[in-house]
Amino acid sequence: MAKVLQTPSHSLKEFRILPGYTANDGNAPNVQLTTRLCQKREQFIELNTPFLSAAMQAVTGVDMAISLAQLGGIGILPVSQTIDEQCAKVVQVKRFKAGFQTDIMTLSPNQRISEVLSIIQKTGYTTFPVTQSGIFHDKLIGILTDKDFDERRDLSVQVSERMKTDVQFGTEINELRAANDLMIKLGRGFLPILSEEGILQTVVFKKDLDKHLRHPNESIDEQKRLLVGAAISTHAEDKERAQELISNGVDVLFIDASDGHTEYQAEMIKFIKKHSETPVVGGNIITHEGFRFLVDSGADAVKVGMGIGSGCTTQEVKATGRGQGTSLMEVGKSRQNFTKESGRYIPLIADGGISGPAEMSVALALGADTLMMGNFFARYTESHGSLMRNAAGEIVKEYWMEGSMRAHNMRRYAQTKENFFEEGISGYVPHVGSIFDKLPMIIQMLRATLATAGCKTIEELHSDAVLEMQSPSALLDSKIHDIIPMNIDQQVL
């Protein structure tokens, strides 16, 4: 006889958090969202904000990974690409030095102004270092800007005749603050940085630097490089992928499998743990047994969630899955018992079904240390999906699930070409603008929730939050009711 659990499972949407006592120094600006991503040796990789962009083709490319790490989270590069492509993206994120640019367009002294004009028209760039050979990493001999020539009379004149040669520069500067100080002293918006031998190394634009200095929460490693994660599948050929990603500097590996309670998964985790110290995140699981299995296999953090992704059809086609509230409660309890027994803390990642600040807060209160989101991040300009116009004329972003025909990520679902069926759909989500404009407000909302709950940290939220399940009518009251929202263009008569 099959075992039947008679208590229904619950979604994150069914819970609300009750207020706790908030002292004067416990208001939102005093709340810290620093949290543990995964174990690393005897310590943890920590993030200043609890956000992970999902390992999905539509979501995480280099742009998203860099932007989210600058805002204190981390991007996880998807597995559905070649090993070389995925490693190249890891390298791009790790090489990114906010404010320092190493690849802007340079000119050679004997180019004609007519060529420069066409470069300006094509790229919109207006400031160009001039090097002896025209190649970036060469001796700097001048700077040309769009103000240095007459665009009608000078067309056949050479760059060398119009460039400024009294260039002010920095030498061997690695620290952004030092570059900033020098730019302020020189009153410049642009600063080339040279080696002792006069070779151009990097350039700094004041506008980029200001942007960087506005992000004090960046996720960085010991060498001050941005953090980045990458997904691998459980298939044997991905042992090579794991090794390549590690040698290219990935900070954490995520096993991308819809069901993490499998022998394949344990084999992959053990393989990685045997060959490297790079942390590995296992998943996905939704039960106590699944959690213990992954921890016993050596996982450094565990992803929780099955069948609840926004475009996921797993529950419809396979009837497997569980409400995310219940999954987190059960796994959270299991983690608590494990910590008591072993003294070890395994961070939990709530993965899927989180699309707004209320669900984020509830997931964190139910034990999640971080939040992995696809749909939520797909909406930003920086996501990997393209912008498109829908039939109603609205600007939207493509969003397709990893189990969809389009993604063809069969290894995530232990499928082959012959037995492939979809576990997710392709669609689109509204475009909401840049992550840099919108995520800071979401961070404020989370801080405010913690403050109302009487908690100053996510750790306190785990131990002290009081949540309550809501009846269907209480949930109706918890949303806008009995009022019609006013459009901005409506007028009072």
* Chain residues in the site for ligand IMP (CB under 6 A): 54, 56, 258, 284, 305, 309-310, 312, 314, 351-354, 372-376, 401-404, 423-424
Q: Which residues pair with 77 in a beta bridge?
A: 230
Q: Calculate the CA dihedral of residues 25, 28, 30, 32 and round it to 10 degrees.
A: 140
Minimum Å distance from CB 284 to ligand IMP? 6
Whether 381 contacts 435, CB under 8 Å: yes
d(CA 412, CA 171): 49
Q: Which is nearer to ligand IMP, 401 or 453 (CB)?
A: 401
- In this complex, which beta carbon is closest to ligand IMP, that of residue 30 or of residue 381? 381
Least distance CB 28 / ligand IMP (angstroms): 25
CA–CA distance, 167 with 163 (Å, rounded to integer): 10
Q: Is the peptide bond before 284 cis (omega within 30 degrees of 0)?
A: yes
Q: What's phi and psi for 172, nearest 5 deg?
A: 50, 45
Measured from the CB of residue 353, what is the shortest distance to ligand IMP in angstroms? 5
Q: 249 or 356, CB closer to ligand IMP?
A: 356
| Closer to ligand IMP by Cβ: residue 79 or 194 | 79
Residue 52 and residue 60: Cα distance in Å, rounded? 10
Give the phi and the psi of residue 472 in degrees, each rounded to 5: -55, -40
Nearer to ligand IMP, 72 or 424 (CB): 424
Q: What is the nearest approach in angstroms of ligand IMP to the Cβ of residue 314?
A: 5
Q: Which of 312, 335, 447, 455 is catalytic?
A: 312
Do residues 78 and 99 touch, judged by C-beta distance below 8 A?
A: no
Query: How far is the C-alpha of 183 from the C-alpha of 16, rounded, in Å?
Result: 50
**Which residue is at the shortest CB distance from ligand IMP?**
424
Q: Shortest distance, CB of residue 365 to ligand IMP, whole angstroms?
A: 18
Query: Would you give the distance in Å from CA 155 to the centre of its chain?
Result: 45
Residues shown for the chain: 493
Nearer to ligand IMP, 51 or 190 (CB): 51
**What is the amino acid identity at position 454?**
G
Active site residue 412: yes
Rounded Cα–Cα distance for residues 356 and 347 (Å): 21
| Per-residue tokens: 473 | 């009518």
Closest distance to ligand IMP from the beta carbon of 313 (Å): 7
Task: Please check whether residue 462 is in contact with residue 370, taking contact to mean a CB–CB distance below 8 angstroms.
Answer: no
CA dist., res. 415 & res. 476, Å (int): 41
CB of 413 to ligand IMP, least distance (A): 8
The verdict on whether 16 is a catalytic residue reads no
Closest CA to 450 of 437, 463, 436: 463
Among 411, 412, 447, 455, the one annotated catalytic: 412
CB nearer ligand IMP, residue 125 or residue 421: 421
For residue 310, which amino acid is it? S
Catalytic residues: 312, 412
